[in-house]
Amino acid sequence: MKVKYFQDTDTLHIEFKESEVAETRDLDENTLLDLDKHGNICAITIEHAKDRANIPHFSFEQFAA
């Protein structure tokens, strides 16, 4: 998984897996969902991310199974 934040455009891009994007769906006017040919989520793009995704307080945690 890769998380990229583009400060110049205030865009957050979360890539869940490297895969060829077959379709991009608009979830709303500022959120895009990328799907592979099987309909699995590849990535999500969020515009105006500072306000919508609380970017300054990003954290990641992994828990043992």
Q: What is the pTM of this model?
A: 0.83
**Domain residues for 27?**
2-53
Is residue 64 assigned to a domain? Answer: no
Q: How far apart are CA 25 and CA 41, in angstroms?
A: 10
Is residue 45 assigned to a domain? Answer: yes
Strands (E), the chain: 2-6, 11-15, 23-28, 31-35, 41-47
Is residue 24 assigned to a domain? Answer: yes
The answer to whether the CB of 1 falls within 8 A of the CB of 16 is yes
Is residue 62 assigned to a domain? Answer: no
Question: In the chain, how many domains are there?
Answer: 1
Is residue 59 assigned to a domain? Answer: no
Full pLDDT tens readout for the chain, 65 residues: 999 999 999 999 999 999 999 999 999 999 999 999 999 999 999 999 988 887 777 777 888 87
Is residue 16 assigned to a domain? Answer: yes
Is residue 60 assigned to a domain? Answer: no
Q: What confidence score (pLDDT) does residue 58 get?
A: 75
